[in-house]
């Protein structure tokens, strides 16, 4: 798990960020919205206190994907960067795929496995939750 500063950004480099410390939550999300927003079988996100995340170049553009969440992406290249809860701005979840060093973090669980792609077979031994734990 990361102890120092995590750096990352979008595909084109128009948006860059740093995150201090280690994530409070880190997991693979199999919900339909994460699949559609990332274009992948699941999204992997690391949750940090918002005060510990700083955008050092540019800022994400947000799309309100549901009544409870907004997803941030680069307006130039479309790269998935973050999601956050609309009613609680104290936390922000960074897309692990947008991090410069994937070895800086380690996922701890799978969530919303009730919506998992039926052809996906994972043998990572991580705890699985049908919804949000």
- How far is C-alpha 80 from the geometric centre of its chain's CA atoms? 8
Is residue 104, in this structure, part of any structural domain at all?
yes
How far apart CA 47 and CA 23 sit, in angstroms, is 5
Is residue 116, in this structure, part of any structural domain at all?
no
pLDDT at 4 over 90: no
- For tokens 């996100």, the residue is 45
Joined together, the tokens standing for residue 12 give: 């084109």
Q: For position 57, which CATH number holds?
A: 2.170.150.70
Contact 115, 98 (CB under 8 A): no
In this predicted model, what pLDDT tens digit does every residue of 39-89 receive, in sequence order?
999 999 999 999 999 999 999 999 999 998 999 999 999 999 999 999 998
Q: Which range of residues forms the domain containing residue 12? A: 5-28+43-108
Give Cα separations from 60 to 67, 94, 117 (angstroms).
19, 11, 28
Please give the model's pTM, rounded to 2 decimal places: 0.92
Is residue 87, in this structure, part of any structural domain at all?
yes
Mean pLDDT on 28-32: 95
Is residue 124, in this structure, part of any structural domain at all?
no
């Amino acid at each position: 798990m990361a102890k120092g500063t995590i750096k990352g950004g979008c595909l084109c480099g128009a948006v860059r960020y740093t995150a201090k410390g280690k994530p409070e939550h880190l997991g693979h999300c199999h919900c339909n919205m994460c699949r559609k927003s990332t274009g992948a079988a699941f999204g992997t996100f690391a949750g940090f206190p918002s005060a510990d995340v700083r955008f050092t170049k540019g800022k994400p553009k947000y799309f309100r994907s549901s009544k409870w969440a907004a997803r941030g992406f680069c307006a130039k290249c479309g790269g998935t960067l973050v999601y956050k809860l609309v009613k609680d701005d104290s936390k922000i979840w960074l897309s692990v795929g947008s991090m410069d060093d994937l070895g800086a973090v380690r996922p701890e669980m799978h969530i919303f496995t009730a919506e998992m792609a039926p052809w996906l077979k994972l043998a990572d031994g991580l705890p699985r939750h049908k919804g949000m734990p």
